[in-house]
Amino acid sequence: MCGIGTDWLENARAAQQPEASLVAAQAGDNKHALIIFVKNPQLGRVKTRMAKTMGDEAALDAYLQMLAHVRAVAASIDCHRAVYYSDFIDESDAWEGPAFSKHLQSKGDLGEKMHGAMAEMLAAGFERVVLVGSDLLDLQVQHLSLAFRALGFQDLVLGPTHDGGYCLIGMTAPHPELFLNKTWSTDTVLADTVADAKRLGLSMHLLPAIHDIDEENDWLEALNRQQLRHDRA
């Protein structure tokens, strides 16, 4: 995927507040918001790289397990929880209200989608906003707790993945520049984002790196680590 243009950046800077109809939840006493990016779990449309070796049904089942894991972790954090769907809002799935508010990702590439969701929550009055992906089995409650805590004294928090990307990003103010000119799903994303943050003069905290899941081997190794954690508990 190539870098993107800058026209949306100017629009983002100009838009101080989203339309009220686009924000399903307003901040109350709790000023922390967790955004979970999910793909609608449809056969043949999720974890397609895994499906090449596992088959569509096995890949879908694996993704449903990832969603269940991230959902359980998110439910353990005291914050507002917002699920952002890739294609359509599913009112009858396991992301039940009022524990989770439901939203639709904006148009554009991954950077535009992430910036749009984070800007929306910040404009709604939340002071610390963390966004996390859903293709994870290694995400733990402490990752999210540390992310929110770090935002008490840093402008930006990133949760690196071992493949050179990141699975978590958090901020206290919108910084659309961090989402520009990235070749998403490559091993340069984290380094490029860190370089942009330094150029912008943002203070930053990096969480311990974890594994995301793209290939069948990633999935099998994640299952083994999950079993080890269960055995030690």
Q: Are 47 and 135 contacting, i.e. CB atoms less than 8 angstroms apart?
A: yes
pTM of the full structure: 0.89
The amino acid present at 36, given as its one-letter code, is: I
Q: In a structure prediction context, what are the per-residue pLDDT tens digits for the chain, which is 233 residues long?
A: 333 344 544 554 444 344 333 444 455 568 999 999 999 999 999 999 999 999 999 999 999 999 999 999 999 999 999 999 999 999 999 999 999 999 999 999 999 999 999 999 999 999 999 999 999 999 999 999 999 999 999 999 999 999 999 999 999 999 999 999 999 999 999 999 999 999 999 999 999 999 999 999 999 999 999 999 888 87
DSSP string, 100-116: SEEEEPPSSSHHHHHHH
Q: How far is 25 from 43, CA to CA, in rounded Å?
A: 30
Distances (CA, A) of 61 to 45, 51, 55, 133, 214: 12, 11, 10, 17, 14
The amino acid present at 42, given as its one-letter code, is: Q
> Sheet containing 166-171: which strands, arranged edge to edge?
101-104, 80-85, 32-38, 128-132, 166-171, 156-160, 204-206
